[in-house]
Each structure stands twice: as structure tokens, then as C-alpha cells.
Amino acid sequence: MASRELIDTPTWRALVAHQAKIKDAHLRQLFADDPKRAEKFTAEGAGIQLDYSKNRIDGETIQLLLRLAKERGVAARRDAMFRGEKTNKSENRAVLHVALRAPRDEVIEVDGHNVVPDVHAVLDRMSEFADKVRDGSWTGHTGKRIRNVINIGIGGSYLGPEMAYLALRPFSDRGMTFRFVSNVDGAAFSEATHGLDAAETLFVVSSKTFTTLETMTNAKTARAWVVEKLGAEEAVAKHFVADSTNTAGVETFGIDTSHMFEFWDWVGGRYSMDSAIGLSTMIAIGPENFRAMLAGFHAMDEHFCTAPPEKNLPMLMGLLTVWYNNFFDAQTLGIMPYAEHMSRFPAYLQQLQMESNGKHVDLSTNHVNYQTGPIIWGEPGTDGQHSFYQLIHQGTKIIPCDFIGFMTPLSSYADHHDLLMANLFAQAEALAFGKTAAEFKAEGSPDFQTPFRVTEGNRPTNLMLADRLDPKTLGSLIALYEHSVFTQGAVWDIDSFDQWGVELGKVLALRIIPELQDAAEPPLKHDSSTNAAIKRYRAYKARR
Ligand code: F6P
């Protein structure tokens, strides 16, 4: 079925009609009508419990959404992905991040070649290297122990490593410093190296392509920094390693390929934090914890493949995203982890979801006539409550939110945890049920003020709970979102694994760079706005 016909299918039309009915139902009523609602709309998998009862749904909604998933071939597409078929159509590539966490004895083939042994060979090399750095047997050029690790990379070669390092800090070697350079703004490099001794610093250059402008620029600057500080070209060998698919590029840069950890073109950048791109994570938390994280990913992969659709967490989450995105015209999805260590999780999911599902043509290259990926944003709770939650509670927009909480605290200030969790539960409750004018009046609220105070409620949330934020749970949580993104993409019939939209800006920047750097100031042939900005920059640069 061509995608453009999607919105004319009986199921889609039934969902439109159903939305028209249910949009006026209030969660207050839906809960009052069914005392078992929470139980009915809770599912569990890979150590994560998803309570999706505070969504604007009833049993019929879920049945219709599951029918939509079936008709769109979500399960069949999932199986094709897991089999290693070239489901990334626009790049003619397999999509096999699931192979990165497959157990040693599994067989997953790409073009007839079992890739699982390759994955484990790299993991073993990474483990050996990480152990050497952690136990001090890998020393820098001067013989000093490595105490600082700086990951240089951007996008998927940065967000995952930084997010995972911050999330798993309690499991990391606290005697070491980990920093991340992504932005080409020289301020990023200068801050990342500030106060560090080059003799104790290891750079991990992470880039799938090893051609990305920002990463290559920062890597060259790092190389010059090391050579200048340590006074020897040979220092590069002990202070640089690379994670990449591009052996020739790594060699050309001057990193010995015996210090390169490889991955493969069937791993998308935003799906690569559990590949060699995770080397800095592994050095931070140790190989054993890294493998526990992979086991968490794998547990969710298994759940996605085996759980029945009505109990399948990624499918349900993906379908609920479709529900609000396409039937309620919700523009965004908020990600609110109630965990300080998860501060970069929303940013990580931003790339995962927006680069994957921000697409305007379907797999048959037709322009879609329905909405695709929502805008992803968020902040950890409780901070967001004192900032933007006001708009979620009383604004005019519908903003579905994912609330994420962990039962067991990792800090020694355990009494804070009750307050943190109380706030999490309270926010979900307040958003769902609100507070009426009558309730305020009964409490003696003055008439002039009551209308301002009313919170209507009926704001949808998912509540995800897990035991504690550890490597295994983090892996499961990330895989849950990966497969939710997959489910959405399958319904929309788009290529969730390419990212052509980012190319034009890169090409235009390459054209403008010489226009800023060439002292002869070549004539400008852009639009009048771009020309004016470049001229202004040139004038400032001349005065510097
Ligand atoms: O520009 C987007 C992008 O290609 C992302 O998809 C990717 O994660 C990032 O750039 C970095 O790419 P690389 O790992 O090849 O340096």
C-alpha cells in the first residue's frame, strides 16, 4: 500500500473518528469508570514498567492502534531489520545496531557474513585496552599514567558517550576525568583541555566517517596541542586512539590502526553508543559494566521481538507517539527523567528521534501527507517544574510527556529520594486530573482568583519506572526508545536510518569557509541576507 493512502485506510479513518469521540473524555472520568485502569494499561519488559494509563485512550484506542501497527507491517519490518536485510533503503544498508549487543553465539548475517564474531572481537579489544588505561599499564608518552580521557566527536559520536558517562557516573572510575569536545567553536576545545596535563591525557577520536568537519578540526587541534605540550611528534601514538568505520581516514590522520576500534556501516551514528563509539564509556565504567549495559539493550531487543503487541513496550510507546502526533496534532514530546544523572538523556533522544523520523518522503519517495516525527525536548525533574511545567499544566498546547523514575537512589542522601519521587508522582497526577473551580472554591479560594488557579488536567503522560539507574537499566531504556522510534517510522513508512537533511548545510558551510578566510575576500554570490552577514563578519575580523 502506498503511504499516501495511509490516511484513507479504514483503520486510520476509524482512529480519526475515535479521536473525535474520546477527545472530550476526561482522564478523571476514565479513571472513575474503571478502577482497574492502571492495571489494564501497564506493561513490563526488561526491567522497565510502563504505566500508560494516564493517556487519553481507552481499550478501543489501543485495539485500533495495534491494528494500524499490524497493517503497517511493524512486526514484519522489525523481523527484517533483525535479520540484517537492507532496510535503510536510501543508503542501501542493513540496520543492525541490535547485533552490537547480541550474545556471542548468535548468528546475524549481512550479505551472508555472520557479524556477531566481528562485534565480539572488537569488544574484546576494547576491553583489553580499557583495562590497560584503567589499571595504569597504558601510559602516556612520558610514562605518566593516563588520568584524563577526552572524547572528540559530534552527533551520535558524542551525545551517547556523554549521556552514558553522566548517567553512569556512580559506576565510573572517580580518579579519572572524562570530558567531551563536539562543537567546532574553539571554546569547546579550550574548556575541555583547561587545567589538564597533556602527559596524562588520552584523546578518543570518535567518528563513523572520520571526515566530519567539526571532529577533524578538533582532532587536528588536539594533535597540535599534544605535540606542542610534549615536544614530540611520536607522542601521538600514546595519546590518540580512534573509533571509526574508516580505516584509511584514521591512517591518513596519523593514528596507528592498531589503536583503532572499528565498527561498520550498518550501525547508524545515533545508534552507535554501544559500538566502538562507546570506548570512552567503557574506560569510565569498566568492561564488565559496559557488558551489563549491552545485556540491558539485548533484554529489550528480546522483549521487542517476543512480547505480544499489546504488552510490547516499544510498540505501545511508538503507537502512543503516533496517536498524539497524528490524531491530536501534538507537535512535541517532553522527556522528563527524574534523575540528576540523566541530564543529557533528553538531548540524546532528541538526535535519536528527530534525526531518525524527521522525514518528508516515504520509502516510495512520495511526499507524505501526514505528520512525521515530533519535536523532542526535555529536562530532568524537578528542575523543569520550576520553569516550563507551567505551560504544560495551564497552557493551550497538548504536550505529551514521558516521566522516568528509579526506585532505588544511588546517592547517600537517600531521604532526598522520597521528595524526588513524590514530585514525579505528583506531577503525573496533577497533569492528568488537575483541579476544578469547585474544588478551589471549597477550599476558600477567592472568586477573583479561582479562574486563574484552575488546572484543567487531561494532560497525557507515560510513567516509566525501573529499579535503579545502572548500566543494565540504561541499556534497556535506550533500546526501548530506539524501538519506539522504529515503530513510529514503520507506521509512517519512512527511512528512519538516513539523515540527508543535514547535508545541505554542511555543503554550504564548506563554500563559505574560504569566503571568510581568504584575505582576497572573493566576491559573494549568496542572497542579500547571507552576503550582508558575511560582509559584517569580514569587517569585524579585519578589526580583530
Ligand atoms: O551530521 C549528522 C551526522 O552525520 C550524524 O548522523 C552523526 O551522528 C554525526 O553527524 C557525526 O558523524 P561522524 O560520526 O561520521 O563524525
Cβ of residue 212 lying under 6 Å from some atom of ligand 1: yes
Which DSSP state fits 523? Answer: P
Residue 137 neighbours by CB under 8 Å, 6+ apart: 131
CA of 424 to the centre of ligand 1 (A): 34
Distance separating alpha carbons of residues 147 and 354, to the nearest angstrom: 35
Cβ of residue 246 lying under 6 Å from some atom of ligand 1: no
Cβ of residue 496 lying under 6 Å from some atom of ligand 1: no
Cβ of residue 217 lying under 6 Å from some atom of ligand 1: no
Which DSSP state fits 88? Answer: B
Atom of ligand 1 nearest to the CA of 503: 1
Amino acid at 248: A
Give pLDDT tens digits along the chain (544 positions).
Answer: 556 699 999 999 999 999 999 999 999 999 999 999 999 999 999 999 999 999 999 999 999 999 999 999 999 999 999 999 999 999 999 999 999 999 999 999 999 999 999 999 999 999 999 999 999 999 999 999 999 999 999 999 999 999 999 999 999 999 999 999 999 999 999 999 999 999 999 999 999 999 999 999 999 999 999 999 999 999 999 999 999 999 999 999 999 999 999 999 999 999 999 999 999 999 999 999 999 999 999 999 999 999 999 999 999 999 999 999 999 999 999 999 999 999 999 999 999 999 999 999 999 999 999 999 999 999 999 999 999 999 999 999 999 999 999 999 999 898 999 999 999 999 999 999 999 999 999 999 999 999 999 999 999 999 999 999 999 999 999 999 999 999 999 999 999 999 999 999 999 999 999 999 999 999 999 999 999 999 999 999 999 8
CA of 207 to the centre of ligand 1 (A): 7
Rg (CA), the chain: 25
CA of 1 to the centre of ligand 1 (A): 32
Cβ of residue 156 lying under 6 Å from some atom of ligand 1: yes
Give me the sign of the Cα torsion angle 200, 470, 407, 478: positive
Q: Are the C-beta atoms of 146 and 201 separated by less than 8 Å?
A: yes
CA of 269 to the centre of ligand 1 (A): 6
pLDDT digits (tens, 9 = 90+) for 223-274: 999 999 999 999 999 999 999 999 999 999 999 999 999 999 999 999 999 9
Residue 74 neighbours by CB under 8 Å, 6+ apart: 315, 318, 487, 490, 491
Cβ of residue 461 lying under 6 Å from some atom of ligand 1: no
Determine the residue of 208, 497, 506 to mutate for testing ligand 1's pocket, defined as the one with the most ligand atoms within 8 A of the Cβ atom: 208
Distance separating alpha carbons of residues 173 and 487, to the nearest angstrom: 37
Cell numbers standing for residue 148: 584524563
Cβ of residue 393 lying under 6 Å from some atom of ligand 1: no
The count of residues in the chain is 544
Atom of ligand 1 nearest to the CA of 154: 11
Atom of ligand 1 nearest to the CA of 209: 15
Distance separating alpha carbons of residues 313 and 291, to the nearest angstrom: 23
Identify the burial level of 121 via C-beta atoms within 10 angstroms of its C-beta, where 0-12 means exposed, 13-18 middle and 19 or more buried: exposed
Distance separating alpha carbons of residues 450 and 470, to the nearest angstrom: 44
Cβ of residue 244 lying under 6 Å from some atom of ligand 1: no
Helix (H) or strand (E) holding 477: helix 471-492
Q: Are the C-beta atoms of 47 and 299 separated by less than 8 Å?
A: yes
Give me the pLDDT at residue 161, please.
Answer: 98
CA of 505 to the centre of ligand 1 (A): 13
Active-site residue list: 355, 386, 506
Give me the pLDDT at residue 2, please.
Answer: 56
Cell numbers standing for residue 3: 503511504
Atom of ligand 1 nearest to the CA of 272: 8
Atom of ligand 1 nearest to the CA of 157: 14
pLDDT digits (tens, 9 = 90+) for 10-54: 999 999 999 999 999 999 999 999 999 999 999 999 999 999 999
Atom of ligand 1 nearest to the CA of 506: 1
Atom of ligand 1 nearest to the CA of 244: 14
pTM: 0.97
CA of 154 to the centre of ligand 1 (A): 6
Transcribe 33-74 into DSSP letters. Answer: H-TTHHHHTEEEETTEEEE-TTSS--HHHHHHHHHHHHHTTH
Determine the residue of 499, 500, 510 to mutate for testing ligand 1's pocket, defined as the one with the most ligand atoms within 8 A of the Cβ atom: 499
Distance separating alpha carbons of residues 490 and 472, to the nearest angstrom: 27
CA of 156 to the centre of ligand 1 (A): 6
Q: In terms of DSSP bridges, do strands 260-262 and 332-337 run parallel, antiparallel, or are they unpaired?
A: unpaired
Residue with cell 492528568: 432
Which residue has its alpha carbon closest to ligand 1 atom 8?
A: 156
Cβ of residue 209 lying under 6 Å from some atom of ligand 1: yes
Helix (H) or strand (E) holding 376: strand 375-377
CA of 374 to the centre of ligand 1 (A): 21
Cβ of residue 502 lying under 6 Å from some atom of ligand 1: yes
Cβ of residue 160 lying under 6 Å from some atom of ligand 1: no
Cβ of residue 157 lying under 6 Å from some atom of ligand 1: yes
Helix (H) or strand (E) holding 201: strand 201-206
Cβ of residue 325 lying under 6 Å from some atom of ligand 1: no
CA of 223 to the centre of ligand 1 (A): 21
Determine the residue of 93, 181, 209 to mutate for testing ligand 1's pocket, defined as the one with the most ligand atoms within 8 A of the Cβ atom: 209
